[in-house]
Chain A
Amino acid sequence: METQADLDNQIYQIIAKMLRVKAENLRPETRLREDLGADSLDLTEVVMELEVHFGLNLNTREVHISTVAEVVSYMKDSLAARDQAEQDPGPQANV
């Protein structure tokens, strides 16, 4: 089973790879735009890479992330929402 640290590490590695920085230099409070020089296309690409890595389908138009911590928290929420959806078959299953 994946630990919390594993998950954080995977997200850090993907941010680092897509923004061409070293993962060990990333801190939760690191700002993607101001500190790392990312623009909206860079952020879209980061989210797309996270989607592929975690097998998620996210709406990249509605992503509002500005720090590394927000990326981590956004991914955790998205993963939790997916797990919830898988456990709950939803109303259609009863029809």
Chain B
Amino acid sequence: MKHSTRRVVITGMGAVTPCGNTVAELWQSLEAGRSGIRTITRFNTTGFDCHIAGEVVGFELDRFVVARDQKKMDLFTQYAMGAAEEAMLDAGFGSHELSSDERDSFGAVLGSGIGGLTTIWHEANGYRGPRRTSPFFIPAIISNLAPGFISLRWGLRGPNKAVASACASATHAIGDAARLIAHGYADRMLTGGAESGVNPLGIGGFGAMNALSLRNATPHAASRPFDQDRDGFVLSEGAGILVLEERELALGRGAKIYAEVAGYGETADAFHITRAPDDGAGPMRAMALALDDAGIVAEQVGYINAHATSTPTGDRIESRAIRTLFGKHCSKLSVSSTKSVTGHLLGAAGAVETIATAMTAATGIAPPTINVFNQDSETDFDVTPHTSKKVRPEYLMNNSIGFGGTNATLVLRAVGL
């Protein structure tokens, strides 16, 4: 990263998603293009226009959180705890006893777009009177209790906070965490994002914005980024957590390295609360800043995990931004939207997609964009339709765009090439 000689690498990853509750299961689903979208079972959707979502299934909370603490956490924090456990074990910190100094410089920065929406829904519905609100209501809903509980679980005493930038939250969190390490304010960070909006308020709220796909009869085909017949995104839930580590420390302890976090860019549109300007200037500038931060030019990027949520305007605007920035190099790019498989995990999306991008860096496999039956004419680059393919990029990009006109891009560098 620019302005720093310290380099940052990814040494552990964990995921709880509609496509599986481990990174291995998630990656298998992504590689195979196996959709995690189903008819909603969490609540009765009678009267709602949208009846589909990406729900987490089979999450074994008891493995990660003692019974007494479970009621103190909203679902998004519970998912974060599960993903953090996997990421820490994956990084080798399950058996490695962290010293007191190591804990002081090990932080947690997580993104969540909304926080404890499910708890808000239940508490408001079961409101028992002015002196009867649960003392755990506030701790359960506030976004920073996900990193808070993670710090308690592992004794991490470094920087600890939440990032809230809607659907860009996790990408911002990862970028901010990487910079904390690059600039010497921490040596290791648990980062990523968590979200759980599959409840009447989430489906009703996004539904009211006409943001959701209404392909209720064909859930697997509902999320179709870059397809000209896309009709909205599919709301999903879960968490993605990564362990970031200063490179020399990681090498020193012989850690497995998935990829390097080489660059980060962030911008705002200053245009509209929920939509980007038609020319995609905001996302384009975020990508350009991330390239500059990584010290590379556009032609060095071989793969992009796009934000592409499957909304009619959003995908088109991001496509324009990519086309404007990469120009003729578009013909050599591989792009995919893994949201076609996972749905949109909102504040956790950027983390799940950074995990996917790191897996592409490590395995040389680009997961497909599924459901692209009629590619949008404005998306004139390879979106890896239907099936995965072999790629060998040195530099990879992950884009996130959030309500509020906020944009974040990460550049990863493949290692061992």
Which A residues lie at the B interface, using CB under 8 A? 19-21, 37, 41-42, 44-45, 48, 51-52, 57, 60
Contacts and interface: CB of A to CB of B under 8 A. Distances in A.
21 contacts: A19-B68, A20-B67, A20-B68, A20-B70, A20-B71, A21-B68, A41-B72, A41-B135, A41-B136, A41-B139, A42-B68, A45-B134, A45-B135, A45-B136, A48-B135, A51-B131, A51-B132, A52-B128, A52-B132, A57-B131, A60-B131
A30 B44 CA distance: 42
A52 B132 CA distance: 8
B68 A37 contact: yes
Contacts of B71: 20
Contacts, number: 26
A61 B131 CA distance: 12
A21 B139 CA distance: 22
A51 B128 CA distance: 12
Contacts of B136: 41, 45
Contacts of A57: 131
Give the interface centre of B67, B68, B71, B139 by most chain A CB atoms within 10 Å.
B68
Interface of A (DSSP majority class)? helix
Query: Which range contains the number of B residues in contact with the other chain?
Result: 10 to 19
B115 to A, nearest CB: 18
Nearest to B68: A20
Interface in B22-76: 67-68, 70-72
Nearest to A44: B135
Contacts of A20: 67-68, 70-71
Contacts of B70: 20
A20 B134 CA distance: 16
A41 B68 CA distance: 12
Contacts of A19: 68
A37 B68 CA distance: 9
A44 B139 CA distance: 14
Contacts of A42: 68
B127 to A, nearest CB: 13
Nearest to B136: A41
Leading 7 A-B pairs by shortest Cβ distance: A20-B67, A41-B135, A20-B68, A44-B135, A45-B135, A41-B136, A45-B134
